[in-house]
Amino acid sequence: MIRKALIGFVAIVWFSAVQAQPAPQNSGADLIVFNAKIFTGNRAQPEATALAVKDGRIYSVGPDEAILALKNPSTKVIDAHSRRVVPGIVDAHIHVLNDLAFNYNVRWDGVPTLRQALTMLREQARRTPEGQWVKVIGGWSPYQFKENRFPTLDELHEAVPNHPAIVQYAYNQAFLNKQAMTALGVGTDRFPKLDGVEIEKDGRGNPTGVVHGYTWLFLALEAMVPQPSFDEQVSSLAYSVHGLNRFGVTSIIDNGGRWPYPDAQARVSVLARDNRLNVRMPFVDLQLGDGGPVNMVDLELEAITKTAPISPGQNLYPALAHGHEYRGAGEVLSGEVHDHENFDRPAVVIEPDTMRRFVEEDVKKLVERRIPFRMHISYNENISPFLDALEKVNETIPLGGLRWSLEHAETISPQNIARVKKLGGGIALDGKMALHADGFIKTYGREKALETPRLRMLVDSGIPLAMTTDAFRAATYNPWVGISWMVTGKSVSGSEALAKDNRLTRAEALRLFTIGGAWFMNAEAEIGAIAPGYLADFAVLDRDYFAVPEDQIKSVSSVLTVMNGKVVFGGQDYRNLSPELPAILPAWSPVKYFGSYYGEK
C-alpha cells in the first residue's frame, strides 16, 4: 500500500510539473528557402537545396522534402526558383563611417561609359541647390569606361557650369571646375599644404584644376566642402548599407575614417534603435586628432579607456550578434609611417628605422594591453621592417592569441607571408587592382602586376586571409568586381592583370569574401557558411555565379538578402519582401535619382 501510494504521489507531482511548463511556442522554422542551389561553404555538406531558419540562425540544411517538413502555419516559405544561394558576403575592410556624406555624391560605380557618367553630372547639376557642390568621390576608374580615359576639364565645366564640382579618382587625383578651385583656394595659401601635393599648371603658370596627391589631401578637401547634417548622415548610412545589401553583403568591418569613436557611433545607434541596422558592423577605430602631428595610438587609448570606455569585442548593439563591436585600433596607426597606395606613383617607402621605432614604441602599447590592431601597409619594403620590430616585441610580450593583421599588403614577399603566419597574424587584401591595375602596369610593368598580390601563394599558405573592397573611395563597394578579377585575372578594362597560375577558382574567391572575412570579426565559427548553428546570413543571386560565363561575374547581384534571419533586401520578384526605406535626405540627393550603383534605377 505504501509503495502504491508513493508511486501515485510521484505521478501526480510529475504530471503537475509537466502541466506547469509553458507549451512550446512557435515550434518549427521561422523561415524556409527551398528549390535552391545552395553553396553552403561547409565542406562537410557543400551543396543542398533548402535551408531553415530559427531565431536568427540556420536551423537545418538539406533536401527540400526534409526542410519543408519543418514548417508550421507561421513559417515564411520562399521559393528560390532554382537560383543560386550563397553565404552572406563579409567585407572585412570598408569605410562606411568615413562616407557619411554618401547621399551627397554621384556614384560612378559600374557606369560603363564616360558619356553616361558626364550625363549624370549634367542632370545632377540642374537639381543641386545653390550653395551645394556636385561631387563624385571615388568608387570608379577611368579604365571601366568604354572610352578608357579620364574626363577633361572642358567636359567637367560644360557638365557643371553653375556649381562647384569635384570629381575624385581614388586617393590619387581630383578634377575641379573653376568654382571649386575658387572655393578651395587652389594656388593660394588656403589650399592644403601637404607632402606629395602637385597642382597641374598651364603654360602661363595658372592652375588647370587637376590636383594630384595622397590620402591626407583628399580628406582635407572633403572637410572644406558643405557638410551633411546629423539627420543626413544617418540617412547616408542607411542608404549605403542598402547598397551593400543589394550585392549580398551582410557583414562588414568599418576600418576607420574622419569620424572617430565615439562620435561616429552616434549615427549607427540611430539605425540600431529603429531596428534598421541591416548589416553587422564591427569597427576598428582611427583617431586622426584635430590636425597636425599626433600620436594616434595614444589618442586611441585615451578614447577607449577615458573618453568612452570600451573593451575589445564589446558590442554596442547587443540585440544583434556582432552588431557593432569594437575590434581594435587601425587601420592607420601613425601618419608618419602611412605608405598610402597610389599606383599612379612609385611606392612610398618609409625609412626602416622610423618604422621599427614606431612598432617598438607605439604598437607595443597595444600588444601590452591586448588591443587588436590592423596596420595599413601596401608595400613589401615597409612590411619587412614592420615585421622585424614586431618579432622583437613578440620576444618579450608574446602576440599569441591577439588578432592583428596587415591591410592591403599588395606586394608582400613569400618570406614575409611566412613571417606573418608564424606571428599569428592575418592579411586583409583588397580588390583595388581590379579597378587600378592598368595604372599599376604603367608604373611598375605588367610582369609585376601579374603577381600582385600573390593570390595563389597566399591562399595555399593557410594564413588567415580575406579579400575586401576598401570602398567607398579607393575602390567600388561591389565585391563581385573583385571576385571577377580573382577568377578571370582581368581588370575592369579587360586587360590581363593576374597570371593564370595566380588566379583562384570560383569557390576559393567566394570563400575569401565569406569565411575568410569572418576571421577578422572573430566569428569564423558562426559567420561565413550556411550550416546549422551559423547565423542566418545569406543571399539569393540573380544568376548562378558558379555557372555563368566569366565575363558576367562582375554583374552578379542579389535578388534576396537575408541577415539575422530577416529579409534586408528584395529585388525582382522578391521586391515586395524588401523593407521600406525612409525618405532619402537631402531631397536633391543624387542617390535618390541614380541609385547607389549603376543600373539600380
Name the nearest CA neighbour of 561 among 552, 553, 570. 570
Q: Does 188 have pLDDT greater than 70?
A: yes
What is residue 27's predicted lDDT score, i.e. its pLDDT?
80
Q: Establish whether the linkage from the previous residue to 472 is cis, with ω within 30° of 0.
A: yes
Write down the pLDDT at residue 180. 98
pLDDT band at 293 (very low <50, low <70, confident <90, very high): confident
d(CA 175, CA 236): 24
User: Pairing between strand 465-468 and 426-430?
Assistant: parallel
Grid cell 551633411 is found at 228
The burial class, CB within 10 Å (0-12 / 13-18 / 19+), for 376 is: buried
Q: Is 200 helix (H, G, I), strand (E, B) or coil?
A: strand
Confidence check: pLDDT of 10 > 60: no
| pLDDT-above-70 percentage for the chain | 96
| Predicted confidence (pLDDT) per residue in 567-579, tens digit | 999 999 999 999 9
- Is the confidence at residue 84, as pLDDT, over 60? yes
Predicted confidence at residue 20, as pLDDT, reads 44
- Residue 510 and residue 21: Cα distance in Å, rounded? 46
Interval 146-157 mean pLDDT: 98
Mean pLDDT computed over 152-179: 98
- The two most distant CA atoms of the chain are separated, in Å, by 117
Mean pLDDT for 501-510 is 98
Res 25: pLDDT: 55
Who wins on pLDDT, 317 or 3? 317
Mean pLDDT of the chain: 95
Residue (of 87, 167, 79) closest to 125 by Cα position: 167
**Distance from first CA to last CA of the chain, Å, rounded?**
83
Q: What is the mean pLDDT of residues 404-419?
A: 98
Query: 9: pLDDT confidence band, cut at 50, 70 and 90?
Result: very low
With bands split at pLDDT 50, 70 and 90, how would you rate the model's confidence at 357? very high
State residue 478's pLDDT score.
Answer: 98
- Give the pLDDT band (50/70/90) at residue 14: very low
Strands 426-430 and 404-408: parallel
Q: Encode pLDDT of 422-458 as tens digits.
A: 999 999 999 999 999 999 999 999 999 999 999 999 9
Residue 11 pLDDT exceeds 70: no
On the question of pLDDT at 26 being above 70, the answer is: no
At residue 85, the pLDDT reads 98
C-alpha distances in Å from residue 428, one per residue of 40, 314, 342, 391: 23, 22, 18, 20
The mean pLDDT of 183-211, rounded to a whole number, is 96
What was the pLDDT predicted at 1?
A: 45
User: Tens of pLDDT along 301-340?
Assistant: 999 999 999 999 999 999 999 999 999 999 999 999 999 9
What DSSP string runs through 378-442? --HHHHHHHHHHHHHHHHHS--TT--EEEEE-TT--HHHHHHHHHTT-EEEEESHHHHHHHHHHH
pLDDT of residue 277: 97
Residue 491: count other Cβ atoms within 10 Å of its Cβ.
26
Is the pLDDT at 76 greater than 50? The verdict is yes
Name the residue with higher pLDDT: 107 or 27.
107
